[in-house]
Amino acid sequence: MPEPVQWSPEGAPRSPRFDDIYHSASGALAQARHVFLAGCALPQDWANQPQWRVLETGFGLGLNFLATWHAWRTDPCRPALLHFVSIEAYPVAPADLLRALQGQPERAELIALAEALAAQWHGLLPGLHRLVFEGGRVLLTLCVGDVQSMLRAQRFEADSLYLDGFSPQCNPQMWSAQTLRALARFARRGARVATWSVACGVRDALMTYGFRLEKAPGLPPKRECLRGVFDPPWTPRRRAPRPVAAAPGHCAVVGAGLAGAAVAASLARRGWRVTVLEAAAQPAGGASALPVGVLAPHVSADDALLSRLTRAGIRASWQQLAMLLAAGRDWRGNGVLERRAPSALGLPAHWAQGPLSESQRANGACLSAAGLPPDVPALWHARAGWVRPDRLIAAWLAQPGIALRCGRAVEHIVRAEMEGTHGAHAQDRNPGAEKGVETSVLWELFDARGERLAQADRVVIAAGIASRRFAPALALTPVRGQVAWGHAGAGALPDFPVNGNGYLIAGVPDGGDGHRAGDEEGGRAGLGVRTGVHTHAQTLWLAGASHQRGIDDTCIDRAELRRRRVHLAELLPEAAAALGPQFEAGQVNAWAGVRCTCIDRRPVVGPVTPDDDAPWIVSALGSRGLSFAALCAELLAARWHAEPLPLAQSLADALDTHRLWRRKPASR
């Protein structure tokens, strides 16, 4: 359940759990600006920086974040990217985030920001949650849980530290020496710390761990507040970081499917110039050419690794969909029903405390809407739906800074490191460079004829199963999938996707291009493809999908089409009966594609060899490209720029290619 807040008649918020106020009588916004922003010399210190990273203990009602966001928004010298990482064990309700602004003198300035925050304030189970604002330029990483475990879940260098927990007397764990020591491990040299607390124990611990402190005038009724700089007389021991990009340069991305387009967009937002090389005549090829796909989480009673990864991935995807696409036309988040065996209906025990999760057991009304009896075992995923992958890919590739070059099949990638290069090479790397300016090109990409397709500072392989050519050591495996699709009148089928042993998506607006999925120009053969004009009353439906491991053939299998009908009848008997005449009349289309998977069935994000300076890869998304593409792209960008990660360190490591170098051969 959301953390309850007690509001006095005057509108002052109080925590019943800690028996303490959320902010002083002077007002939360005034406190945020005086104690925390001014205490950390903001916005002066972040002027013209590529990024700024704030670490906060105690998110509370979010007013420090809103004040910092507002300061960033109104500053012409703001950093290109603002990261705000905050730890909160007990998130309040969205309504309390909005109510906290009532009576604040600056309410009008912040109400739109608070509403945007409240709109993403959902599904806050224990763990890390990335909330995205300002088109991806303001990133809030909310760490829900115990402060010690949450500090262990991240690893980055902070530029500013806000210490804003409840008082040391009410919440001693937040101010313990152990907590403050852990916080010091995040501070870069020169990072500033600010807090309203001037307690002797807090001051002593901060000085012990390397902070130079001073007291400053407080905001009434507080007489003093505390400010400091991390400047220890010793050299702090840090875990050796991976090589990071000194500054955004030119990146070549191989592949224009979901993974490649997502990577291109994430890097372009950080100032990279990105060239996307696609072997096919158009983007959204390979497995990403699926006409329409399901976006739904994996749920398990033990909240397994895949469950936690898909939750993070769907949040990342959802934010991109809401930001870039037209709801109801390009995607629709109206939920997904998932049929399960009775023994597989268990949910994690900690979900039972309230509606923290967006996945629950399906009720009778939901089952009835799918044409199923009320006793059918199933789960309902509220934050799920369908997506047109090609629309998402097009939106990503349309971002400024991205150049798409189709019909460019990369055959070789060569490390060049040519120092003192002049003329055309310099201009290829930097179009604004003048001839005669020295430069160095790290990577060159060639086609089968030896023609150079691009030169770049860095390379990302995101070509689906074709990535095997450039990453043979990763043992990527093809998995063939075939679907059936067609058109139906509005209202003939369930209004939301139904998943299980196979799936059905219906009610997708045709948009006049439904025939593209079976077009042989896209590299797949069609079966019974109808290219006539469809009426506006018709919508697209799709039933899928087979999983044939080790097969990379995309020719249509007529026997598999019949199996799709059998599986549909098992999943949704009424829907199968409604579509039966189309199958019998040969009016059903087919599409086949090849997914790419890894040995442990998790995506891979990292260098293609143990050398971090090698080309990187984002691949093996399997049948969950819509769930993983945005998350994996943000993970790669965060790794390159030493940013806070979009998910817990342990989950990020579970996707890293380095896990495969450490894998021991199976015993015989």
Give CA 189 to chain center in angstroms: 30
pLDDT score, position 72: 98
Residue 185 tokens read as 């491990």
pLDDT at 332: 97
- Phi then psi dihedrals of residue 369, to 5 deg: -65, -20
Q: Is 297 exposed, middle or buried (0-12, 13-18, 19+ CB in 10 A)?
A: buried
Which residues lie below 8 Å from residue 157, measured CB to CB, with a gap of 6+? 53, 186, 187, 188, 191, 642
What whole-number distance in Å separates Cα of residue 659 and Cα of residue 306? 16
User: First CA to last CA across the chain, in angstroms?
Assistant: 49
The predicted pLDDT at position 219 comes to 85
Q: For the chain, give me the number of helices (H) and strands (E)?
A: 17, 32
* Enclosing H/E stretch for 212: strand 211-217
The alpha carbons of the chain give a radius of gyration, in whole angstroms, of 27
- What is the predicted pLDDT for the residue at 422? 38
| Phi, then psi, of 24 in degrees rounded to 5 | -75, 170
Residue 439, both tokens: 């430069």
Q: Which helix (H) or strand (E) holds 655?
A: helix 649-655
Phi-psi category of residue 490: left, alpha or beta, with phi > 0 → left and psi -120 to 50 → alpha: beta
* CB-count exposure of residue 457 (10 Å: 0-12, 13-18, 19+): buried
Q: Could you list the mean pLDDT of each consecutive 10-residue stretch along the chain, which spans 668 residues? A: 88 90 77 95 97 97 96 97 97 94 79 95 94 97 96 95 93 95 96 96 96 93 93 85 77 98 97 97 93 95 95 97 96 96 89 70 95 95 96 98 97 79 39 42 92 96 96 94 88 90 93 43 31 53 92 91 94 94 92 95 94 92 96 97 95 95 52
User: What are the strands, taking DSSP E only, across 97-137?
Assistant: 127-133
Instruction: Give the sign of the dihedral formed by CA 325, CA 329, CA 333, CA 339.
Output: negative
Query: Crossing angle, helix 389-397 and helix 305-324, to 10 degrees?
Result: 70
At residue 520, the pLDDT reads: 30
Q: Compute CA 574 distance to the chain's CA centroid, rounded to the nearest angstrom.
A: 36
User: SS3 for 419?
Assistant: strand
Do residues 89 and 147 touch, judged by C-beta distance below 8 A? yes
Q: What are phi and psi of 429, to 5 degrees?
A: -75, -35
Question: CB-based contacts of 558: which residues, under 8 Å, 6+ apart?
Answer: 527
pLDDT of residue 240: 62
Pairing of strands 439-446, 452-456: antiparallel
H/E segment holding residue 273: strand 273-278
